[in-house]
Chain A
Amino acid sequence: MITEIWKNSIRFIILVLLQTLIVKNIPLGAYFVPMPYLLFILMLPFETMPMVVLFLSFFTGLAVDIFYDTQGVHASACVLMGYLRFYFLRLLSPREGYEVTEKPTVQFMGNTWFLSYAVPMLLVHHLFFFYLEEFGFDDFFFTLLKTLGSTLASFVFIYIIQFLFYRKDGVLA
């Protein structure tokens, strides 16, 4: 339990710094805005209480907001994503529930499970984020394309991070 808290805290710091100091400066054009820091919310252990997930999502969003000068926009989208995580997990849960030893990663749950878990949540987050950032529907289709492109970019980033740093028996998992 204690080690879980440490692992997640370190993951939080690394992902927020990765997002704000490195990924933010990668020029990919207006249609691709990757947000790999969302991996933190995705990778919280299965047994984390939903209330705790909500609070952690809020603080993750706020931390990124500070670096992006977008006060509240990231936080709001993250809170929505954290709120829906509970329902997505219930929807995707195997018949006998999740094992204590399992973690919400590709290595433990397989490609199909992770794809159907991460992509809808990223999509919801990005949809909400980009329309909230624009504060209206003036450029409806541009924002929609941006959402789809960014979801793809975020997922690719998250998938690569998982493959590079996480193994089933690894220290970080």
Chain B
Amino acid sequence: MIEFRNVSFAYEKNRPVLSGISFHIDEGENVGLIGANGAGKSTVMKLLLGFLQGEGEILVHDIPVCKDTLAEIRKICGFVLQNSDDQMFMPTVLEDLMFGPVNYGMTKQQAERKADEVLAGLDIAYLKNRYNHRISGGEKRMAAVASVLAMEPEVLLMDEPTAALDPYNRRMIINTIRKLPQTKIITSHDLDMILDTCTRVILIGGGTVAADGPAEEILTNKKLLEAHRLELPLRFSGSSI
């Protein structure tokens, strides 16, 4: 479904962030993209969404990511940004949910029905007519997920979905992610969350794919994680927290 073929990218000449990375993600897979700060996780996301152009080839459903296919790619891949305030730019939650579907051709009535359906599915129907700037951080994150789901994406890309959330809201987001049927690519430093939501992990380090395999296997490999400036998930680290 998603394929990176020998993709390289550099923000500055002679300082590559990614050097020929290749991986394939199948339909329905839940993949955690992990790595230290600056490893290139966000760059992978941006390349996939066409915000950056690198060398090599990126395919989504065999469609190459390029200028001419951006609308199609972005319809297939929904992206939940790390900061929900950046994602929720309309005054109310409803308007935000309707924004994407209307832009992609739904009528207002259809878009509102879709918004109702998504909000009900996530148990946040009560947020429908609330102002975005007046809801809590956890509610905003849920609404941001809903705004992407309303576009019926086949792939869900999520950037640090649990960042800055309290334990209750973090758990709520994790449970929500687990219930979603889409193919998912999640970047995060919250490795416990990755373990809870993903079956496969791709570790980016040194500009390459340093490891790619089952989540349990990679996230319990202390030596590998520490070599890439990461730590074991809390549940394996013996911490009492």
Indicate whether A and B interact.
no
**Interface residue ranges, B against A (CB under 8 Å):** none
**Interface residue ranges, A against B (CB under 8 Å):** none
